[in-house]
Amino acid sequence: MMTLIPQVLRNERNLCCLFFLLLFSYYITMDVILYVTIQDTTFTDQTRGESYSMFHPLSAKLVMSDHTNHYFMVPTTEIFDELTRFSKVFFFVTPNMVTITHFILALVASKFVSSENLKHRRIAVVIYEFRIWLDSLDGVIYRSHAHETVYKSNKSTLGYYMDTTLDVLGGVAFNLGVVFFLFKGAPLISKTQEYILPFCKPAVPTENGVTNGNGEKYTKPSKKFIFWKCWCFGFQIFMASGSWDKRTEQMGEALETNLKNDAQTTLQTSMLHSFSTWLVMYMWRLCDGQSLFQVFLVVIFMDKVWEFLNFVQYIGYVILISVNVITVVHVNHIKNVIGIK
């Protein structure tokens, strides 16, 4: 059987590169279709067709959602519900039940991700991806029970706050699992915080630790240092999720409000179709909390957690603050052009 597999695909790294290349191509193709679709639609007075579509109805929240959620999690849960009629057949299953279930899965994943065994940490990634899928499913069940068709948050319900709270707690538990893993297996560092792998010369064992080819000594980072690294990224996810929720609400107010004045409606449609609006919404597809967590899951799977945490520690805040400022300025510009408050 192995002889039928090309030599290049027998290498784990090559397989991962091929998978991410195909995934990237799929996302880009879908983004092009989405952009073209937006140019021929509005965010007001949309109704869902007989079957689910990734591109109709659209909302600011959906367009600003991360790629994995928009192009995989939501479609598969919607299609699953259409094929099995899960929300109708199991009408007694409430969104809150599903929310509690995916919170429990987050706790299970946090246990696996704390392991020193890479296979266990990869199992944690799979479990947490299934948790995200269930998080999307509870939204499908809610919209089915509430007879809603547009993908948007309903902050007037208890379920919204329960889902948000357990999402945060599940994410915190998972990040703590990563902290405990790093307590046991963090790479050695030098006084200049140069990391042994993959950035410098091979280490040489000594009586008091290891040294690199230049004789510089490396030591294990303190637990306080490790916790600080993880906290910085964890707070970035919290900041990205909270600000994304606020910015999608503001963008929705500007682009989804039904206006009585025809001239204002024309201006609103024009702003929706503008390339600048697309760029602002697209930045959030890359920077929202779910997107950051997806990247985190990938680096855990690739066993590059420590390198990633050091890379994103401060630059992540710069990016998030910049995207927030740009979005606020652009939303105010849209409202000024349309003439609404």
Task: Give the tens place of pLDDT for each residue, 256-266.
Answer: 888 888 899 99
pTM over 0.75: yes
Give percent of the chain with pLDDT exceeding 70.
Answer: 84
Q: Give the CA distances from residue 109 to residues 37, 70, 116, 125, 312, in Å, rounded to whole numbers and listed in that order.
A: 38, 23, 14, 7, 23
Q: What is the mean pLDDT of the chain?
A: 85
pLDDT band at 199 (very low <50, low <70, confident <90, very high): very low
pLDDT band at 277 (very low <50, low <70, confident <90, very high): very high
Residue 5 within any structural domain of the chain:
no
Q: Kindly state the average pLDDT of the residues 289-305.
A: 93
Q: Verify that 178 and 194 share a domain, yes or no.
A: no
Q: CA quadruple 309, 310, 314, 315: dihedral positive or negative?
A: negative
Q: Verify that 169 and 277 share a domain, yes or no.
A: yes
pLDDT at 339 over 70: yes
Q: Verify that 137 and 250 share a domain, yes or no.
A: yes
Position 290 scores a pLDDT of 92
Pick 12 or 273 by higher pLDDT: 273
Q: Kindly state the average pLDDT of the residues 32-47.
A: 88
pLDDT at 186 over 70: no
Position 187 scores a pLDDT of 67
Domain boundary among 220, 240, 271: 220
Q: Verify that 158 and 180 share a domain, yes or no.
A: yes
pLDDT at 310 over 70: yes
Q: Kindly state the average pLDDT of the residues 24-49.
A: 89
pLDDT at 47 over 80: no
pLDDT band at 218 (very low <50, low <70, confident <90, very high): low
Position 335 scores a pLDDT of 93
CATH number at residue 225: 1.20.120.1760
**What helix, strand, coil percent values describe the chain, rounded to 5?**
70, 5, 25
pLDDT band at 3 (very low <50, low <70, confident <90, very high): low
Pick 10 or 299 by higher pLDDT: 299
Q: Verify that 192 and 126 share a domain, yes or no.
A: no
Poorest-pLDDT segment among 3-12, 108-117, 243-252, 297-306: 3-12
Q: Give the CA distances from residue 309 to residues 137, 228, 233, in Å, rounded to whole numbers and listed in that order.
A: 30, 10, 7
| DSSP element (H, E) containing 205 | strand 204-206
pLDDT at 198 over 90: no
What's the domain count of the chain? 2
At 68, give phi and psi (nearest 5°).
Answer: -65, -40
Position 43 scores a pLDDT of 86
Q: Verify that 198 and 137 share a domain, yes or no.
A: no
pLDDT at 194 over 50: no
Token reading at 326: 């740009």
User: Tokens 């997806």 appear where?
Assistant: 294
| Domain interval for residue 194 | 188-220
